[in-house]
Amino acid sequence: MNTNMTKLMIVPAVLFLLCANSGTGRCGGPDNAEPAASPASLSPDEAVRWLEGLNVFYEQDYLRTAIARAFGNRIDEGISHAIETLRLPGRDEAGKPVPGRAKAYFVARNILLVYAEAAAERIPAAYDAGDAVARANLINVSGAIPGEDVTGMLVRALDDRTFLDDHDPERAGEPLRICDLAYNQLVLRFRIKGVLRTIGPALGTVNRDYHISILRGKL
């Protein structure tokens, strides 16, 4: 493993896509209780706590409707809260997942998708100002966010060779890098044919760089 690897703690991209790519969005039970007060009357923190308390892994469409109800025209507040969540590490210093963080990431991703056009105006700046954890998490949510600025951010990220150590003892091979995450999101974003579909940890960095160079030629 690279001894110069920056120690980071993020939740893998698969957790962002856990229900998004399931076809139905159904991954759990149906217990989605209404808050005591109207969702629109909740503060941003209260609204997010309510959203995170929903069984969001059961019905993604329900979650996105709930987001629109909770934030309504408070779009900037919703996006700000989502970006702040994505700045948080997914694992603690001992390498253990932070309780509730995977669901918080999932809610944050869906807030950005509900308000995708407005989010596209803020994500690149948040990426440029963020540390490696924030940059990795923002890359992982950006494949489905439209806009030339977001595309430019993903292309720039192909140059970022920072390793991501998520402390997963079951994972073989070298940790992924930010450029690897960007590769995966760009291939997904543009449905690019004739390239490796996904870069994973089992692929060595020399081969990863080879496939990134091929992708660059197709962009």
Residue 1 has pLDDT above 70, yes or no: no
* Cross-strand pairs, 177: 163
Nearest-angstrom CA–CA distance, 32 and 100: 17
Lowest mean pLDDT among 32-41, 80-89, 98-107: 32-41
* Average pLDDT over every residue of 129-143: 95
Residue 108 has pLDDT above 90, yes or no: yes
Tell me, letter by letter, the H, E, C secondary structure of the chain.
CCCCCCCCCCCCHHHCCCCCCCCCCCCCCCCCCCCCCCHHHCCHHHHHHHHHHCCCCCCHHHHHHHHHHHHCCCHHHHHHHHHHHHCCCCECCCCCECCCHHHHHHHHHHHHHHCHHHHHHHHHHHHHHCCHHHHHHHHHHHCCCCCHHHHHHHHHHCCCCCECCCCCCCCCCCCCEHHHHHHHHHHHHHCCCCCCCCCCCCCCHHHHHHHHHHHHHHC
Q: Which two tokens stand for residue 102?
A: 């995977």
Is the separation of the CB atoms in 126 and 108 below 8 Å? no
| Contacts (Cβ under 8 Å, ≥6 apart) of 128 | 153
Nearest-angstrom CA–CA distance, 132 and 117: 24
**pLDDT tier at 55, thresholds 50, 70, 90:** confident
pLDDT at 16: 46
Residue 19 has pLDDT above 70, yes or no: no
Residue 194 has pLDDT above 80, yes or no: yes
* Average pLDDT over every residue of 180-184: 98
**pLDDT tier at 168, thresholds 50, 70, 90:** low
pLDDT at 2: 46
Q: Is-above-0.85 flag for pTM?
A: no
pLDDT at 92: 84
Percent of the chain topping pLDDT 70: 79
**pLDDT tier at 91, thresholds 50, 70, 90:** confident
**pLDDT tier at 31, thresholds 50, 70, 90:** low
pLDDT at 34: 62
Nearest-angstrom CA–CA distance, 93 and 164: 14
Nearest to 91 by CA among 158, 130, 154, 136: 136
pLDDT at 66: 93
* Average pLDDT over every residue of 152-172: 84
* Cross-strand pairs, 166: none
Nearest-angstrom CA–CA distance, 90 and 81: 16
Higher pLDDT, 81 or 54: 81
